[in-house]
Amino acid sequence: MKKFKHSEITPEKIYNKRRSFIKSMGYGLSSIAFSSVPLIDAKASNLNEPTSYQDITTYNNFYEFGTGKADPHRRAKNFTTRPWTVKIEGEVEKSLELPIEEVLNIKSEERILKLRCVEGWSMVIPWLGFSLSELLNKVKIKSTAKYVEFETVYNPEEMVGQRYPVLNWPYIEGLRIDEAMHPLTTVVTGLYGKTLPNQNGAPLRIFIPWKYGFKSAKSIVKIKLTKNMPNTAWKNASPREYGFYSNVNPEVDHPRWSQKTERVIGESILAPRIKTLMFNGYGDEVAHLYSGMDLKKNY
């Protein structure tokens, strides 16, 4: 998995048709007869093939809309994303309040990136977006800024999940400043060539391909440059389970899930788990950010 694959994507409809055909074949034959492909040598044949639009937009975690993975799709339909402003503040010379239209004016490109969820599944998503550094360059960052904090909108009227104390709302995520400035750290504005659907974090989300999915905050209203490490939502909920860095790392097990392997979303019942790669396969691009760091301690 290399960075930005601008390769041709199979047209969505044909792609989905083909996928469902393969799937139904798989189910027809299988269910009792398990394949004997050994897990360890298993390799996905089509890692670069994007997950279907259907799966990307109907199966994801967005706890603001509920804890089930089908909840965001069902409950985000009427989520209000206009008007919307994004504040950039904190350790900056002059804070900035940008209307969403202005952010969307920054030229987006297709970035086919892999998402690895801490729960042990992965998708390949053709995002539309641009590097976060382009957005952050709109302000003058003070040298005292060491971290970047992302804040998701707080709107319990429409985000029914926020009515329950599942996490400390609003959702906070964060990166070290050098991570935030890395070109692979993407501000996402769409997927599959379309506007970003509500359930995937409209109108604006972040995506960091070498970290577990929960690091990539959705529906962002505030970007804050800070001196101290942000108190991120999941670390706050369970520091033993979720670290600040949360880089994809097959060597560091989550207390509940092994992180050595992952299940590819959209594959048939017969498809084996595949091996999880260090930094989700983006090691060549990002490993230098952590040179000298013990990633077992800084999980």
Partner 1 sequence: MKNYFKPAVFLLCLWPIYIITFQIFYNKLGPEPVDRIINHFGEWTLIFILLTLAMTPLRKITKSLEWIKFRRMLGLFAFFYASIHMLSYVGLDYRFDFEPLIDDVLKKKFIFIGFSAWLLLIPLAITSSDKMVKILKKNWKKLHRLVYIISIFGVLHFIWLSKTIFFKPLVFLIILIILLLLRINFRKFNLS
> Among all chains, which residue has been given the structure tokens 């995520």?
173
Does residue 269 touch partner 1 according to CB under 8 A?
A: yes
| Residue appearing with tokens 């053709």 | 126
Site for partner 1 in 34-73 (CB under 8 A): 34-40, 51, 55, 58-59, 67, 70
23: its two tokens:
């799937």
Question: Residue 191 and residue 125: Cα distance in Å, rounded?
Answer: 7
Tell me the closest approach of the beta carbon of residue 233 to partner 1, in angstroms. 11
Q: Candidates 31-39, 96-104, 140-148, 150-158: pick the segment binding partner 1 (CB under 8 A).
A: 31-39
Task: Please state the closest distance from residue 226 (CB atom) to partner 1, in A.
Answer: 26
d(CA 64, CA 58): 15
Identified binder of partner 1 from the candidate list 96, 166, 252, 287, rule CB under 8 A: 166
Smaller CB distance to partner 1: residue 69 or 87? Answer: 69
Cβ-Cβ contacts under 8 Å for 218 (sequence gap 6 or more): 62, 64, 152, 171, 200, 201, 205
CA distance 225 to 206: 15
What the block records as the tokens of 108 is 């987006």
Q: Is 83 in the site for partner 1 (CB under 8 A)?
A: no
Binding residue (CB under 8 A) for partner 1 from 115, 273, 277, 281: 273
User: Is 130 within 8 Å of 108 (Cβ atoms)?
Assistant: yes
According to CB under 8 A, which residues from 98 to 127 bind partner 1? Answer: 119, 121
Residue reference for tokens 């900056």 = 92
Q: From the CB of 193, what's the least distance to partner 1, in Å?
A: 21
29 binds partner 1 (CB under 8 A): no
Which of 43, 107, 240, 256 is the binder for partner 1 (CB under 8 A)?
256
165 CB-contact burial (10 Å; exposed 0-12 / middle 13-18 / buried 19+) = exposed
Looking at residue 93, its amino acid is E
Helix, strand, coil abundance in the chain, percent, nearest 5: 25, 25, 55
Complex with partner 1: residue 183 or 250, whichever CB lies closer: 250
Using CB under 8 A, pick the residue from 3, 5, 23, 275 that binds partner 1.
Answer: 23
Nearer to partner 1 among residue 48 and residue 168 (C-beta): 168
Which of 2, 6, 7, 27 contacts partner 1 by CB under 8 A?
27
Measure Cα distances from 143 to 96, 139, 231 in Å. 17, 12, 21
Q: Which residues form the interface with partner 1 (CB under 8 A)?
A: 20, 23-24, 27-28, 31, 34-40, 51, 55, 58-59, 67, 70, 119, 121, 164, 166-167, 237, 253, 255-258, 260-261, 263, 265-266, 268-269, 272-273
